[in-house]
Structure 1
Amino acid sequence: MPAHLAPDASENFVGNFTFHQFNMILSGACTGITCLVIFIVMGRHATHLSDPNQQVKIMRIATLFPLYTIYSLLSICFPNAYVYLVGWTKLFQGIALYWFLMLLCDFVTPNDQHRAEFFASLRVPKRYSTTKTTDGLSWLKSTWYFVLQYPIVSFILAIAQSITQALGIYCLEGKKAYFAHLWITIIGIISLGMAMVNILRFHGNLKSHMKEHKPMMKLLAFKLVVGLEFLEQCAEPLTNKQIVFMVLDATGALKPSDTLSYADIIIGLPTLIICLQVVPFAFLFYHAYSIKPYTKMNVKRSGDSQQYLAVVDSETGGPRVKRYQGGPLGVNAWIALFNPGELFRDIRSTYKMFHASKTEPTMSLDS
């Protein structure tokens, strides 16, 4: 690859605009629409915060969309920074996948204590077997680790990608074994694939316990974005192109010309597609993660951010009176959203739950 990518072609693409300028305008408009839709979703949940445990997780999942498009837009504006930026979008995906798994767990059971009891009494079919089963708690632990590894691996790969690019051994279009691009891409595909398979299996085994939450719609709204990225990554090591460009590349339509620069083809066009495809998914997310379940009757406002009430009463097992706990303009929800310590706190809490379940007397699951 050239050491420095020239973003603008020699001739204009539309009117007085080069393709790079046109791309920035169109991708910027898509990014603006996506951010507006998602911020409306997040704002509505923040100001109608009756179940912080679930709704803050929804807000965290939603941040994937604006971060994804903003980083894509920055890659279009500054093509020479693309390699340094694109690796971190995988980290955002990994964190969002983790919160999605924990949201599904919240749909099944409201807290760690009930969660351990529920899964300890559950029998799950073993992988690749229709007759043998395993205990639900061990299966949940395995699923949790398989999903958690993806943000960890993505973080390491993002750093490795930046370092190898700076050293000149990454090579975005290189598919030889001595270029880091091939190995980083393959490791990322395997890591993402393991996380996705385990989340899909989790949903498949427990969908009957989450019917009222419409998990399939939520799964599609979130997973289609990650799924398309996964398919595009799978094609990249062999073709150096995303799937959507394989046909065009085969016909010779995608070649540098007076109106398309090398940077437009290798970075601008694929990234434009990302910005375009996220827009409809943002509207689907708005519909799938509606605030209606959190704004039902008997809602009372409460400004006490320390007294977060669960939707299910831990003593009676019945529904509690829902209260809005977000504070003025949902400030409490926004503080919780942008607190990076919440991720590590949740990981530690879940790990302690698994550790505590080991120390307790083993129950007979067959009785």
Structure 2
Amino acid sequence: MSWNTTCNSTLEELRIGSEEKIAGDLTFHQLALLIGGVSAAIAILLSFYLMWRHASNYTKPREQKHIIRILFMIPVYATSAFLCIWYYWHAVYFQVMSDCYEAFAISSFFALMCHYMAPDLHEQKDFFRTMNPIKPWVWPVNWFAKCCGGERGPWRIPKSGLTWFNIIWIGIYHYCFIRVTMTITAVLTQYFDRYCESSNSPVFAHIWVVGVESVAVSIAMYCVIQFYVQLREPLAEHSPFLKVLAIKLVIFLSFWQTVAISVGTSTLHIIEANSVMAYPDIKVGLPSLLLCVEMALFALLHQWAFPYQPYKPGAKPTFYPVADASLGGSHLENEHETPRGVWKAFGDALNLWDIVKAFGRGMRWLFVGVKSRHHDASYQPKGGHNSLDTSYPMKSYPMSAGPKSTDHLPIATEFRRSKFGMGLPQKKDDEPVAGDESAGLIENAQSFSVPTSPPRSEERAPSPYHRQPSPYHDPHRGEYYEGPTSSSYENHAPPLSPAYQAYQPYSEDATDRGSSPYLQQGSSQKWSEPSGSAKQANHRTSTQLRVGNALWGDRSPQYDGRQ
């Protein structure tokens, strides 16, 4: 089978000049230039006015640079549409260049929504790591899931909010790369007469460029919709629906109305070239004129969708949402900064390096990070009676972020009564040590006092820490020593086991021992540095050792008063 390698397009050779006048001395082409030019000028002026207001109140750079990029979409489309009417024989260049910018508008909208939830990428990942619940995929992916394995198939709902976030991230940022690549391909092939917009033959680049772009933009817009469905409630104060509508309608009309007019004129022959409207007027002039008028209307809509008033110094404060309302927690204020200046704002908006880095991060996760995603803390069990490993010997357990109640734990009440509730390591201002399970286990503990041990007499009375042997026999008894010590006991106690020494989080310096809950002030006993093998042999935290002792009895070597 042989393919025709000659493009039958005549748009580049056709010129408008002999059509009838329809409004005074104006032909349709001249009238389209007049109306399109005025509409484009209105759209550009309104957009630049709003961008200038944001730049002069540049108090939240992380958000406003993305807003300026979104607003810049209107001047790009309006200018491109007007140039298509004027230089209709080169319309393909202007069309592909303006369509290329929609990828940056979509990615900027996604980045703006992310910064509404958290100030930077690290905090955003923490937000999605604890996000609950994760809403099901919207149509049609939910249908795919039902017929392709359900919760075990490739269309399943991610168990981790962080994995869900990375999927949306890739689905949006990949479009920037695809769209720029296809735009360059279209421009080069058009220059060498291998694009042929009027032909769907596979020997020309047009059908391949349109096919790839259609798939990529469908994925990106689906991810934007899924992102909106998931977060429309916590972001309600930012009017996300109006923002989605202002972006989606521009992209929808710029693509589909052009396709509809092309099909109606070329395939259905609803309108054909005549003495009033030439072929270039129908093919290029009519859809471009409609787009110019629509951009003026969208520029007006953007005044409400992306207002500058919330960014004025002294404006009403906004707050970052909480990922999981069931965990409680306070809302962090999204504070205003000192205005950075107009040129700084436009410079940040024109610097697209953050989009390049975002695409690189997405590709790194897609090909590398996805393999180790189950190691993230968001995949660990949350709540329930299995949320803490109480087996013996005990294993380390990474606690998930957020406050949790311990009323459901069978050892919680006994732990609050034990002597281990006192003297836990604390930060300044009595904040629990970050990452320590004690912050969750004794969160609701009642206050109590425990009398300190009296000084020993010279008759060497039995140690106050001498306890009755545990009824449970354990061959590893000597490896799990735990319990507070006094200065006099340290002078006569047997050497500490390496397994216990590995869990001393305090400095060996004598000046720092006063803060340790295991040493009294003025003690001369020095802790020995644990060996590397001892550090690797046991990965339990101090709180887990206490929980184990509460369950299985004391594992300390007993002191019977003899030297």
TM-score range, shorter chain: 0.7 to 0.9
Matched-pair contact (CA < 8 Å) for 1:107–1:210: yes
Query: Which one-letter code corresponds to 1:77 in the other structure?
Result: W
User: Which ranges of structure 2 fall in alignment gaps of 5 or more residues?
Assistant: 1-8, 152-156, 321-329, 383-563
Counterpart of 2:345 in structure 1 is: 333
Q: What secondary structure does 2:23 align onto?
A: coil
User: How many residues get paired?
Assistant: 344
Matched-pair contact (CA < 8 Å) for 1:56–1:337: yes
Correspondence for 1:281 among 298, 307, 312:
298
Matched-pair contact (CA < 8 Å) for 2:97–2:183: yes
After superposition, the Cα gap between the structure-2 partners of 1:4 and 1:111, relative to the gap in structure 1 and judged at 3 Å, is same
TM-score, normalised via structure 1 length: 0.83
After superposition, the Cα gap between the structure-2 partners of 1:347 and 1:183, relative to the gap in structure 1 and judged at 3 Å, is closer
Q: Distance in 2 between matches of 1:62 and 1:137?
A: 30
* CA deviation after TM superposition for structure 1 residue 186, in Å: 2.1
Are 2:176 and 1:151 equivalent residues in the alignment? yes
Matched-pair contact (CA < 8 Å) for 1:31–1:70: yes
Q: Distance in 2 between matches of 1:194 and 1:120?
A: 23
User: Which ranges of structure 1 fall in alignment gaps of 5 or more residues?
Assistant: 233-240, 300-309
**Structure possessing the higher relative contact order (Cα contacts under 8 Å, 6 or more residues apart):** 1
Q: Distance in 2 between matches of 1:353 and 1:168?
A: 39
Matched-pair contact (CA < 8 Å) for 2:67–2:112: yes
Are 2:299 and 1:290 equivalent residues in the alignment? no
Q: What secondary structure does 1:13 align onto?
A: strand
After superposition, the Cα gap between the structure-2 partners of 1:171 and 1:147, relative to the gap in structure 1 and judged at 3 Å, is same
Correspondence for 2:230 among 205, 208, 213:
205
After superposition, the Cα gap between the structure-2 partners of 1:169 and 1:344, relative to the gap in structure 1 and judged at 3 Å, is closer
Counterpart of 2:286 in structure 1 is: 269
After superposition, the Cα gap between the structure-2 partners of 1:181 and 1:361, relative to the gap in structure 1 and judged at 3 Å, is closer
Query: Which one-letter code corresponds to 2:35 in the other structure?
Result: L
Counterpart of 1:6 in structure 2 is: 15
After superposition, the Cα gap between the structure-2 partners of 1:191 and 1:101, relative to the gap in structure 1 and judged at 3 Å, is same
After superposition, the Cα gap between the structure-2 partners of 1:103 and 1:351, relative to the gap in structure 1 and judged at 3 Å, is farther
* CA deviation after TM superposition for structure 1 residue 187, in Å: 1.8
Q: Distance in 1 between matches of 2:286 and 2:69?
A: 28
After superposition, the Cα gap between the structure-2 partners of 1:19 and 1:320, relative to the gap in structure 1 and judged at 3 Å, is closer
* CA deviation after TM superposition for structure 1 residue 104, in Å: 1.0
Counterpart of 2:253 in structure 1 is: 228
Query: Which one-letter code corresponds to 2:339 in the other structure?
Result: Q
Correspondence for 2:53 among 21, 44, 64:
44
* CA deviation after TM superposition for structure 1 residue 359, in Å: 9.1
- Please give the residue correspondences for 1:1-367 in structure 2 after superposition, counting only pairs within 5 Å: 1-2=9-10, 3-123=12-132, 124-125=134-135, 127=137, 128=142, 132=151, 133-134=157-158, 135-232=160-257, 242-244=259-261, 252=269, 254-295=271-312, 297=314, 318-319=332-333, 322-327=336-341, 330-347=342-359, 362-363=376-377, 364-367=379-382
Task: Provide the identity percentage.
Answer: 23
Matched-pair contact (CA < 8 Å) for 1:87–1:154: no
Q: What secondary structure does 1:177 align onto?
A: coil
Q: Distance in 2 between matches of 1:142 and 1:155?
A: 21
After superposition, the Cα gap between the structure-2 partners of 1:172 and 1:351, relative to the gap in structure 1 and judged at 3 Å, is closer
Q: Distance in 2 between matches of 1:325 and 1:352?
A: 35
State the superposition RMSD in angstroms: 3.0
Q: What secondary structure does 2:85 align onto?
A: helix
Q: Distance in 2 between matches of 1:206 and 1:274?
A: 31
After superposition, the Cα gap between the structure-2 partners of 1:296 and 1:70, relative to the gap in structure 1 and judged at 3 Å, is same
* CA deviation after TM superposition for structure 1 residue 159, in Å: 1.8
